[in-house]
Structure 1
Amino acid sequence: MFCSYSIMSALAALAVIFILAVVIRRTARPGRYWVHSLLKDGKEKGLFWALYDDLRKHPEKFFSYTGMSIDSFDELLEEFYNDLKCEDDIFRQAVTPCERLLLTLRFLASWHSYSSLHLEYRLRKSTVKVVVLSTCTLLWSKLQPKFMEIPDQTKWMQVADLFWRRCHFPNCLGAIDRKHVGIVCPTFSGSNFFNDNQLFSMVLLTIVDADYKFLYVDIEPNGGSCDCTSYSNYKFERLLESGRLNLPEPKPWPGTTQPHPFVFIGDGAFELSTHIMQPYDHGSLNSKQRHFNRRLTKARSMVECAFGILAAKWRIFQSSLQITPEDAVCVIKAACVLHNYVREKEGVDLKDSDTPEHLSAQ
């Protein structure tokens, strides 16, 4: 009896020692902490707190860093301050609205990933992701009705008039085109996002006016679909065919009496229809057909220039997005509506070398 009791006591002691060893090993394991030591001094050493006040003293540097002027930034912050504000909790202080907006604009205006930004701003990587995506969602939902709403007939007529004055193409409601936006290969996606350029991408469909502003954007997540068939996957085609775009009634071209429908102009990838115009195929063209192609090319160059301006300002379009396709849709839409916001607030420089304004009508 005494022997069995001693054995049980020894086993119990060994069990206690084993449990203590496991606890000590786990607590001593490197890398297990509540807040990384690099992030503890975020309020003192983070990029926002160290740079923001000095950055505002240099407007040209501020514009390069955020993609917009100080006045545009302040107006945006004032309008969405309450929506960006979060309450502190018992564990940590919330990211301020100003820092949330600056961080998001820096993400859009640079090639930086969540990993690099979380070290610069001394924030958790997960926090950076939440801040960027929530702010992008807010910007799209609030700015889209003001700066990218589908035009009514009066607005469509203004767009057509501007195309005629600048590009000498009559009854034009916008230039339509697609842009492949590179992304890192999504997990288990196979060849769904793999395009003909041997890259993984999503396809951005846009309609642009003669001021290089986007009238409509839509995103096809599957960048592997070819250009000649991807148009049918967009909501725009359904809106156009159902007559829900509020297009103006046909109107005669200048110097003529026969009414002609208003059209969107694109390249050969878009199927010719009542409201879609494309150039003549290159080949044995007569002088009138070549003249028509020159006019159409001048007008369609507006969308090419808009893509160039978009990628130059929001440099995320110059490299592959290191985010999921779902997050990429949110980020791309925010960048497009911010493009319109900046063009509206800060004007359009018609002296840009990429504008066809200087080309005279033939």
Structure 2
Amino acid sequence: MSHAIFEKLLNIIEPFITKTHVVRTPIPARTRLQVTLRYLSSGDSMVSISYAFRIAHNTVSLIINETCESIWNSLKHRVFLQPSSNNWEKVAEDFERICNFTHCIGAPDGKHVVIQAPPNSGSKYYNYKGQHSIVLLAISDAHCCFSMVDIGGEGRQCDSTIFQNSEFGKRFGNGSLNLPAAKNIANTNVTLPYVLVADEAFQLTPYMMRPYPRKDLGIRKKVFNYRLSRARRTVECAFGLLAARWRVYGKPIIASVSTTRNIIKATTAIHNFVMISERESIRMLPQYSRYTAQDRAIISDGLRNISRSVSSNSVQAVKIRDDFTDFFNNIGAMPWQWKKVLNNDF
């Protein structure tokens, strides 16, 4: 995070984290934000942060929790997608321009955020990797920003179940997110709906496309899987940037469940805030963390892939996927796709 972005963030949240002077001089809002960002970006323990800033350990814990909550409340309406037909169409235009997948409105995926076992939690947060975790379920746009997030799913649940139980999952199901109606592709008579692109862990529905099973794949289906993977990788890149920038994900988070949720909320909001600020500033170059192969191994312990679940396909969803396949193999074909699918197993 550059100095300019830090000052911009401080100006937004300063009114919410400034304390009133009563008996002792309160810790300034700038220091509170510095403590929080230092903890999130370094992955150090709260005890280490307390020594660095000469602040009591219990005070550091309160500052981090309060500041993370203020960051979320201040930024959530600024940096996340507001569901409207025009906004969805803008997202789809970016996916078509960057990823060559038409009528795509997002790429959902879930990651396990590893935590210290909460007291008296039993197997509630125990995942298939043998760790305790909270699930971060997110939908990414073509710029690797999170359009929507659901935070707090127990680690024992699969991503399909978490998506169905999430607020935006329910709204996708009942059609209350103002998705644009199916329309013709430009300069063609091919009509396709607006859809999400996901991996095999998600259920195939009229608004969610997943790859064909890898058994007995023909060229047509391989082309669809390749084109889908080009669009779906944006969410993987988003998670990678999130974990690289915020090293708190590099090891199990030692905090209460409520504080951990606030930490995840804050990092996803600041991730979008930084990405959007960098895009808006022409002169500013992206500043991402540089990390070694050893760092990558540590990061992989903090964010885990979610296990796959068996899905039930509907006739309408299968037809929509076949329509996309026909489009990608005919009018919407890209010159390089044939070489890609012949040289790789999609």
TM-score in same-fold range (> 0.5): yes
Shift of 1:346: 1.4
CA 142–272 in structure 1, closer or farther in 2 if over 3 Å, else same = same
After superposition, the C-alpha distances for 1:255-312 in whole angstroms (9 at most, x for unaligned) are 5413221000101111111100000010111111000000000100000000000000
Q: Figure out how many residues of one structure are paired with residues of the other and give that number.
A: 287
The match for 2:2 among 66, 69, 91 is 69
CA 360–191 in structure 1, closer or farther in 2 if over 3 Å, else same = farther
The match for 2:98 among 142, 166, 180 is 166
Question: Which residue does the alignment assign to 2:203?
Answer: 271
Q: Secondary structure at the match of 1:202?
A: strand
Alpha carbons 1:220, 1:234 under 8 Å: kept: no
**In the alignment, structure 1 residue 108 sits paired with structure 2 residue 40:** yes
Shift of 1:252: 2.2
CA 253–361 in structure 1, closer or farther in 2 if over 3 Å, else same = farther
Question: Which residue does the alignment assign to 1:199?
Answer: 131
Correspondence list, 1:294-305, <5 A: 294-305=226-237
Q: Which amino acid aligns with 2:273?
A: Y
After superposition, the C-alpha distances for 1:175-208 in whole angstroms (9 at most, x for unaligned) are 1100110000000111111111111111111000
Identity of aligned residues (%): 36
Question: Which residue does the alignment assign to 1:244?
Answer: 176
Question: Which residue does the alignment assign to 2:303?
Answer: none
- Bigger drift between 74-83 and 268-277 goes to 74-83
Unpaired runs of 5+ in structure 2? 289-333, 338-346
CA 219–79 in structure 1, closer or farther in 2 if over 3 Å, else same = closer
Q: Which amino acid aligns with 2:143?
A: D
- Bigger drift between 205-214 and 149-158 goes to 149-158
Alpha carbons 2:109, 2:159 under 8 Å: kept: no
Question: Which residue does the alignment assign to 1:52?
Answer: none
Distance 1:274 1:221 in 2: 24
Distance 1:193 1:183 in 2: 9
Question: Which residue does the alignment assign to 1:182?
Answer: 114
**In the alignment, structure 1 residue 288 sits paired with structure 2 residue 224:** no
Distance 2:19 2:160 in 1: 46
* Higher RCO (CA-CA < 8 Å; seq separation 6+): 2
Alpha carbons 1:170, 1:254 under 8 Å: kept: no
Alpha carbons 1:150, 1:216 under 8 Å: kept: no
> Given the two structures, how large is their TM-score scaled by the length of structure 1?
0.76
Question: Which residue does the alignment assign to 2:67?
Answer: 135
Distance 1:139 1:74 in 2: 14
After superposition, the C-alpha distances for 1:36-62 in whole angstroms (9 at most, x for unaligned) are xxxxxxxxxxxxxxxxxxxxxxxxxxx
User: What is the CA RMSD across the aligned residues, in angstroms?
Assistant: 1.9
Shift of 1:122: 1.2
Question: Which residue does the alignment assign to 2:260?
Answer: 328
